[in-house]
Structure 1
Amino acid sequence: MLNTEARQRLQKVLPLDMVATKSWLEAQGLNLHFLDNAVRNRTLIPLVSGVYARQEARLSWKSIAASLQRMSEAPVHIGGLTALELEGLGHYLSKGNKPSVQLYCDVALPRWLGRIASPAQFEWHGTRRLWPETLMQDDKYLRQDNWQASCDPLHYSCPEKAILELLAGVPNSISFEHADQLMQGLHNLSPRKLDTLLRACCSIKAKRLFLWLAERHQHAWLKHLRPDQYALGNGKRLLAKGGKLEPTWQITVPKEM
């Protein structure tokens, strides 16, 4: 039999559709003896070694990502293309049987995330060369998806932050053409947020590419930005092999663009 008080504690710290590691549950005040008993009587279901969900849990990529966010000591956010898709700005749906979910954090993700049965594939993007730690901790540049009322919300980058994250991955993670299509639809970005993010962003490539695409699509918010204050570095940047040098921002882009 499980201790009633401990059972109630488990239900509180582990909502039905979320997951948790054994070490995290112990840190919440549930002792190892109770957890072992909960596994034996199938109150807790092992997903992989040391990672559990409650019986009858219905896992989704959002429930797994939200669980990771609340257990992680370092800030970890949904960002890039996935964040734009959550805002309805993804242009078209991700291809393939399993959608790819983009996670941004300055430390590597736990190994269990790649072993757990999930309807999505999680991809890690390190942020040490993209954002300062203070910005990763600033919730002014995050939005919430309240995917389930009884569970922790899912935190994801606002569109202004997400597009810079996405552009840092061109052309290895996403093509110039796809980035161009996404930028075309970003009519309503906040110039104030963009100004702060462009000042903070550590990726010269992402900033130059962002300004080139913004100019290319003549977005109204562009006139409120101050490129001379965004630390754009010196010299040329080769982004597209065999491409053409764009003279203003000194980046090599595909000839057809």
Structure 2
Amino acid sequence: MSTEITSKLNRLLSTQPTGVVLCSSWLADNGYSVDLQQRYKKSRWFESIGTGALIRHGDQVDYLGAVYAMQTQLGLSVHPSGKTALALQGKSHYLELSPKHAQLFGNQGEHLPLWFKKRDWGLNVKSTLTNFLPPEGGLTEISHKQFKVKVSDPARAIMECLYLSPKSQPLVEVYELMEGLNNLRPASVQKLLEACKSIKVKRLFLYLANKAGHDWMRYLNLDNIDLGSGKRAIVAHGVYVPKYQITVPKALEAMV
């Protein structure tokens, strides 16, 4: 390879961390043409993991390395969420030594690239695209390998769990997760609850937080949170909670 091509390669290798995906479109936008990418692959500097995506040759890239690319190179809002986000921050009672599932949320209308959806990441990755919360609210950064990714902070993560409940996420389990969140920042919780578009999520969140006896609940201004009107049956044949006008599982209401 010419000196110029080698120099560009060295610049790419020095500026991008190991363990991440490199999107072909992003590379092209940054001066690495499709032809140049092919030359790098032929020289075994990079290898393809699907149409439109490369990794360093022999690099070990997990799903978070793909999330990094989608966030920083493609500008997508997709992020680890729910129980996955809590586990990544050490907030989950259900930590797995070797996680078998990962939950991602992204904004409604976004399209996750085919290379991401078709790739076997070694675990079951589920993606939910919804606008029930604003894409930029309630996120925090975590370090992973040599890079950082945005994940849901604990308050947003619980709301994402509640969005999936009760069909995909048992409410008893969400309550046990909520019990451990005794140091949430009221201002952050307030902002998320005001922005949340799901009446079910807001009522359940306040119900679980109140049931857990969290002190930060006292600092919320419920007058500014739209809780809708009318009764909501979260489950059939449950127990009705008049304060929040919801019907919840008997096992949950019985927990102390």
TM above 0.5: yes
Displacement after TM superposition at 1:18 (Å): 0.9
State the distance in 1 between where 2:79 and 2:99 align.
23
Correspondence for 1:160: 155
Displacement after TM superposition at 1:13 (Å): 5.3
CA distance 1:240–1:96, shift in 2 (3 Å): farther
State the distance in 2 between where 1:22 and 1:15 align.
16
Displacement after TM superposition at 1:29 (Å): 1.0
Residue 182 (structure 1) aligned to one of 173, 177, 180 = 177
Deviations 1:186-213 (A, max 9, x none): 1111111111111111111110001111
* TM-score, normalisation: structure 1: 0.89
Tell me if the contact between 1:103 and 1:125 (Cα under 8 Å) persists in the aligned partners. yes
RMSD: 2.0
Tell me if the contact between 1:198 and 1:230 (Cα under 8 Å) persists in the aligned partners. yes
Aligned length: 249
Amino acid at match of 1:115: K
Q: Which runs of 5+ in 1 are unaligned?
A: none
Displacement after TM superposition at 1:80 (Å): 1.4
Amino acid at match of 1:111: L
Q: Which runs of 5+ in 2 are unaligned?
A: none
1:148 matched to 2:145: yes
Correspondence for 1:120: 123
Tell me if the contact between 2:79 and 2:106 (Cα under 8 Å) persists in the aligned partners. yes
Query: SS at 1:34's partner residue?
Result: helix
State the distance in 1 between where 2:18 and 2:223 align.
51
State the distance in 2 between where 1:215 and 1:200 align.
20
Tell me if the contact between 1:83 and 1:156 (Cα under 8 Å) persists in the aligned partners. yes
Query: SS at 1:102's partner residue?
Result: strand
Tell me if the contact between 2:101 and 2:126 (Cα under 8 Å) persists in the aligned partners. no
Query: SS at 1:167's partner residue?
Result: helix
Tell me if the contact between 1:20 and 1:52 (Cα under 8 Å) persists in the aligned partners. yes
State the distance in 2 between where 1:41 and 1:67 align.
23
* TM-score, normalisation: structure 2: 0.89
Residue 233 (structure 2) aligned to one of 220, 225, 238 = 238
Calculate percent identity across the aligned residue pairs: 31
State the distance in 2 between where 1:14 and 1:192 align.
35
Correspondence for 1:172: 167
Displacement after TM superposition at 1:248 (Å): 0.9
Tell me if the contact between 1:78 and 1:104 (Cα under 8 Å) persists in the aligned partners. no
Correspondence for 1:99: 101
Counterparts in 2 of 1:1-257, with a 5 A limit?
1=1, 3-12=5-14, 14-94=16-96, 98-106=100-108, 107-128=110-131, 130-132=132-134, 136-138=135-137, 141-149=138-146, 151=147, 153-256=148-251, 257=253
Tell me if the contact between 1:102 and 1:124 (Cα under 8 Å) persists in the aligned partners. yes
Displacement after TM superposition at 1:102 (Å): 2.5
